[in-house]
Amino acid sequence: MHSSISPSEREVPDGQWGQTLLIAVLITCLVVGGAETIVRRQGYQPTVPDTRELWSFHRSRIYDDEGKSVVLLGASRMQTGFSPRVFRNRFHDYHLTQLAVSATSPLATLKDLANDDRFVGIVLCSLSPSALQEGVEGAHSQSRNVEHYREQRHTWNVEERLKLQFVNSHFAIARPQFRLRPLIRQFITGTEFAAPGFISKQLDRSQRLDFQKVDVEKQRARRVGGTIQFYEKYVPETPSREDWMATARALKPYIDRIKSRGGAVVLIRFPETGEHWRLSVSHFPKEEFWDQLSELTGAPTIHFKDVPGLAIFDCPDTSHLDYRDTDAFTNALLDECVRQKILPDHE
Amino acid sequence: MTFNSLSFAVFFGVVFCLYQLPVSWSVRKLILLAASYAFYAAWNPPFIALLLLSTVIDWVAARQIAASPTFTIRRLWLLCSLSTNLGLLGFFKYGNFALENIASLLALAGIGYVPSSLNILLPWGISFYTFQSMSYTIDVYRDEMKAWTSFTDVALFISFFPQLLAGPIMRAHDFLPQCLHSRTVSFRQIGWGLSLVTLGLFLKTVISDTLLAPVVDSVYAEAAPPGALSAWCAAFAFSGQLYCDFCGYSTCAIGLGLCLGFSLPDNFNCPIAARGITDFWQRWHITLSTWFRDYVYVPLGGSRHGLFRTMVNLFVTVVLCGLWHGAAWTFVMFGVVHGLLMVLEIVIRSTPFARIRVWKTWGGQLGLTLLTFTIVTLTAVLFRAQSMGQAVAMLKTMFGLSDTTPSTHLDTVDVSIVIAAVEVLFLSHLILRDTTIEAFAARSPRWARSLVLAGMMMAILFSGGADRAFIYFAF
């Protein structure tokens, strides 16, 4: 498509092109607005892709001159079970950063924070005994996130941030399943839309699980099946306590380094129920493993079974809390942190 | 920061508002210049030094050429300009390639030389702005234009952000006169400019990135060749992807230029509907092919020294044009094949075979168009392949000469998408072949214009944005 005129004389074709464009924008807004309304009525919610760029962005914001920085580490339980809103309401002078990554071990990030002399703050680290089992860290490490941050931190992608902040956080139709290619594929193959998911991911990297939107029985079976596979792959019937303790002891220098700068590390055992809990205690009896952790690492620990306020919650899939329980759970957890003098008593 | 990004939308909005401030024309040009450098720096700040170096050298060289009374001094300043620009281009673009090939040649001679890798990062758009900058001093040297006194104007000409990274390659005599007086922009002009931007983004994000690129990538990512149908599909998909990617960029550039009151030249004229390779190059990347015509082909003698010399000159020009695209043997081969095809076309045109009436009929013309598109598509395999080996393997597969087990088979959906997208492109080029987009737009009903624009906007929004950089940035 070309114009026959020379560049210095490029003409605008006849017609009210300003008006034409405005009408087109109006039509687009109406259609997009309509589509957004329809998909929300179907139960779809905005969701923010949890990318390494987003993790790196949050990683770059953990610094606080007064040391009032709290970093959350762990895996999906920390992402779904801890309510940032509750924390901010109670500790509004603290800067909270969610660095937990679903289905990973947090040790690489813990070590990275320890080696970062600029970081002064409190680390709330969700940990399962199985995370210290030989082979787990290698296969489920957060090291790729750390590497990505180290490589990319000077060129934080503004584009990504704009998209996440203004598009993904606000529009349900920005979900991947409503993109053009999947839509065309669905049109050609005649398949139906996938049901609205029960996970909603936020810009602060927290996640909400709404178990009312999912078949809980199926979800539980899937979760338990995955956990059994995990144990079969990584954890022997009777794991070596000495090896486990050596791994735990190896964390002490890192935790000490954070403490030497005026910070703190707390190791937290999030709730598990049903088959998940049975598997865990059968392989890693609490008294033999978890209860030794504080002495081995030098970090205070919080186990949900030890705190009445934390032990009352049910995990619909045996491993994660429903979002309706997270406010109460977070309050109870923060109460325990205050009781152990990890966080100040603002009341 | 590319045109298909939200950050660019914010950037352009801010620049546009600042540009509308009631300040003098000189200040408004400075705003554009600062914006252009900021735009380039957004990718890699240190590389603005190269842009500035090229600009300063050419501004000084042009002034010295104009002021010098003697031929020798004029020539020395021209050499200074050419060596700076070609030196930058040579080092950053061809440094590693040259080193690797020197080592290979020495190895053939039995000399073991293992060069340490230069690990050079290619500055985006360097092939475009060095060519643009050089053409200015050459034009002044040839007395085809005066040396421009305003450094701001020359700097803006070389760095004007809508076309900085991938053209259209402007000529100084087209751009600099536009800097003389304040550019007024009407609401209608902005409307048309943004309509062109919408069209460009639609070509880039929807057709190229969303519909065609995933198919191409899935086939070319495999080490082993795909099935024959998949290879053909990927080849045609890449033809469409390359066109939509590059034409999309150029169309956006023209539209953005219009919004700022500047006119940029056309870069494409329905190349998919070309009839013959010569016709193709008159329709594809027009500003590059005319650059090579004016600064390589014509100085070599053009068509002034008989048929044989014409063919040699043409061949050399097209091979250089191929090499311009990238430092790899696949691009050299792409140029060689296109050069040979153009020479062959000249030979055929001089035979009675070319004068058979059937070529002038509707069917004959359609056949020539399809044949040209297919040949160009086959040569584009060289363009896309990561090595000569992959290109040869892909071409062998396409013609059923491969004896390896196919690694990839595209599914029905992908094949359908490619067929539909390429057919639409082919038909639209056939319809628009002998007209202009302006004339076509002017003829269309008002309601249809808004609906088509709205459709394109929605498709862009729903494409999701794959965040692919424009292919030609890498050239």
Exposure string of A269-285, with b = 16+ CB inside 10 Å and e = fewer, is bbbbbbbbbebbbebbe
Alpha helices in B20-70 (DSSP H): 25-41, 48-67
Query: Residue A145 in contact with residue A112, Cβ under 8 Å?
Result: no
Average pLDDT over residues B4-14: 87
B429 as an active site residue: the answer is no
Helix and strand totals (H; E) in chain A: 16, 7
Contacts of B170 in chain A (CB under 8 A): 7
Tokens 């000077």 correspond to A154
Query: Which residue ranges in chain A fall short of pLDDT 50?
Result: 1-7, 154
Tokens 């590497």 correspond to A147
Q: How far apart are CA B176 and CA B132, in angstroms?
A: 12
Touching check for A38 and chain B: CB below 8 Å? no
Where residue B465 falls (left for φ over 0; alpha for ψ -120 to 50; beta otherwise) is left
The first and second tokens of residue B418, run together, are: 């490619």
Within 13 Å and on the Cβ side, how many CA atoms surround B112?
0
Exposure string of B345-362, with b = 16+ CB inside 10 Å and e = fewer, is bbeeeeeeeeeeeeeeee
pLDDT at A271: 94
Nearest to A1 among B206, B214, B269 (CB): B269
Touching check for A190 and chain B: CB below 8 Å? no
Contacts of B189 in chain A (CB under 8 A): 12, 17
Sheet of strand A264-269, all strands in order from the earlier edge strand to the far edge: A95-98, A69-73, A122-126, A264-269, A301-303
pLDDT at A3: 38
Nearest Cα residue in chain B from A168: B464
pLDDT at A1: 40
Q: How far apart are CA B255 and CA A12, in angstroms?
A: 11
Find the helix or strand (DSSP H, E) in which B73 lies: helix B71-108
Among B3, B185, B447, B458, the residue to mutate for chain A (most A Cβ within 10 A): B458
Q: Would you give the DSSP letter of residue A79?
A: H
Query: Residue B393 in contact with residue B252, Cβ under 8 Å?
Result: no
Average pLDDT over residues B279-297: 93
User: How many residues are present in chain A?
Assistant: 347
pLDDT at B406: 66
Q: What is the ipTM of this complex?
A: 0.79
CB within 8 Å: B195 and A21: yes
User: Using CB atoms and an 8 Å cut-off, which of residues 6-35 of chain A contact chain B?
Assistant: 6-25, 27-28, 31-32
Three-class secondary structure of residue B400 per DSSP: coil
Nearest to A32 among B270, B449, B458 (CB): B458
User: Using CB atoms and an 8 Å cut-off, which of residues 160-179 of chain B contact chain A?
Assistant: 170, 174-175, 177-178
**Which domains does chain A carry?**
65-141+202-339 (3.40.50.1110)
Domain boundaries, chain B: 6-183, 207-474
The pairing of strands A207-209 and A199-201 is: antiparallel
Distance from CA of B196 to the nearest CA of A (A): 11
Contacts of B194 in chain A (CB under 8 A): 21
pLDDT at A2: 39
Contacts of A174 in chain B (CB under 8 A): 464
Contacts of B413 in chain A (CB under 8 A): 184-185, 188-189
Contacts of B467 in chain A (CB under 8 A): 159
Nearest to B266 among A3, A23, A179 (CB): A3
Find the helix or strand (DSSP H, E) in which B280 lies: helix B277-281
* Averaged pLDDT of chain B: 88
DSSP A139-163: HSBSHHHHHHHHHHGGG--HHHHHI
Catalytic hit among B181, B285, B325, B409: B325
A345 contacts: CB under 8 Å, gap ≥ 6 = A338
pLDDT at residue B403 greater than cutoff 80: no
Q: Would you give the DSSP letter of residue A14?
A: S
pLDDT at residue B439 greater than cutoff 60: yes
pLDDT at B407: 66
Secondary structure (H, E, C), B211-230: HHHHHHHHHHCCCCCCCHHH
pLDDT tens for each residue of B330-369? 888 889 999 999 999 988 888 888 788 888 888 888 999 9
Q: Is the peptide bond before B168 cis (omega within 30 degrees of 0)?
A: yes
- Local confidence band at B6 (pLDDT 50, 70, 90 cut-offs): confident
Distance from CA of A189 to the nearest CA of B (A): 8
Exposure string of B79-114, with b = 16+ CB inside 10 Å and e = fewer, is ebbbebbeebbeebbbbbbebeeeeeeeeeeeeeee
Q: How far apart are CA B430 and CA B424, in angstroms?
A: 10
pLDDT at residue B275 greater than cutoff 60: yes
CB within 8 Å: B436 and A159: no
Neighbouring-strand partners of residue A301: A267
pLDDT at A4: 36
Nearest to A159 among B6, B174, B266 (CB): B6
Using CB atoms within 10 Å of the CB of residue B398, give its burial: 0 to 12 exposed, 13 to 18 middle, 19+ buried.
buried
Touching check for B436 and chain A: CB below 8 Å? yes
- Local confidence band at B256 (pLDDT 50, 70, 90 cut-offs): very high
The first and second tokens of residue A261, run together, are: 């700068």
B467 against B138, higher pLDDT: B138
Q: How far apart are CA B312 and CA A231, in angstroms?
A: 72
User: How many residues are present in chain B?
Assistant: 475
CB within 8 Å: B283 and A2: yes
Within 13 Å and on the Cβ side, how many CA atoms surround A255?
22
pLDDT at A186: 83
Least confident of A121-125, A253-257, B74-78, B163-167: B163-167
Three-class secondary structure of residue A96 per DSSP: strand
